[in-house]
A and B are shown apart, each in its own frame.
Chain A
């Protein structure tokens, strides 16, 4: 699709020799997103290395993930993988200018993403209830790094998924997404008990709401197939990162009874 558009640009320009083909054979938005993802992969790479460094150098590393956690994390993985498929279908729909199905597939992607966040939030709450904090854990008192590295790594990923869902919401529904986001934010704040970390964590949606509103009102536009494709790149990247977090954090720390 991108290449076809670029070739049309060549034809449309008319003046021979004046058009210079893009170096990477893709439109600049896409190259920009790839550059961002390359830098973001280094952020996650550093966090994964930090986690693994601590894991290797501490033989007493706790293995608290019993069958319930592993099942939960497997369902979360399936959610993310399926969301990547619906995202691809959304990009196809956008490329054939089918607005209704673009919206539907993006909504399906957002639902899978939200399911991931909710399941992960439940997992976090469960671990916190058992006494795990960023500075200590009940399973291995000599390895306080477990909490810090676990919450930093998975928290950073959860933040990326949340940003991804908001990003897709903006692309799919534009300014009509803002009231829905505000409603989820306020409902979440009142429905989540005050002793749960997500009672305050849900304010991330408030920040997302402000950023999305600024973008939508300062630069209102009708998002096209290229925008959907670029949003898809970001979404698949979030999926990709989880493919490393899941085995390293969960499967290498299973508790066999």
Chain B
């Protein structure tokens, strides 16, 4: 539980989050444009950076960090579970097409 006074005092943290998001974006663009890694590793690195960025947005900008524990867990776990199910349904199949050499 959090009250309005504490929020106003910590306005500066949102500027830090904004700065961090811009820096992370710059890093992503640099990695992508210089093609630092081979594609598969690049995808993993870019997605990892995106997950960090989205965690910052959800936690601070969308304020989920300051909501009740029940709401935090309900939302994060239910959405994550759906994504994991989607992942396991589709991606093994996408790779299978590659291995079978279907053109």
Contacts and interface: CB of A to CB of B under 8 A. Distances in A.
Contact of B71 (A24, A70, A88, A229): A24
Tell me whether chain A's interface is mostly helix, strand or loop, or mixed. Answer: helix
B42 A252 contact: yes
Nearest to B96: A57
B38 interface: no
A24 B95 contact: no
Given A24-B71, A243-B50, A74 B25 contact: yes
A240 B50 CA distance: 9
Interface residues of B, number: 55
Interface in B34-51: 35, 39, 42-43, 46-47, 49-50
B90 A1 contact: no
B18 A82 contact: yes
Interface in A100-133: none
Given A92-B8, A247-B50, A34 B75 contact: yes
B65 interface: no
Contact of B57 (A24, A31, A41, A239): A239
A57 B54 contact: no
A57 B71 contact: no
23 contacts: A23-B70, A24-B67, A24-B70, A25-B70, A31-B71, A38-B79, A42-B82, A53-B91, A57-B95, A70-B29, A70-B33, A81-B25, A85-B15, A92-B8, A236-B58, A236-B61, A240-B58, A244-B54, A248-B46, A251-B28, A251-B29, A251-B33, A254-B32
Interface of A: 1, 3-4, 23-26, 31, 34, 38, 41-42, 45-46, 49, 52-53, 56-57, 59, 67, 70, 74, 77-78, 81-82, 84-85, 87-89, 92, 95-96, 142, 229, 232-233, 236-237, 239-240, 243-244, 246-248, 250-252, 254, 256
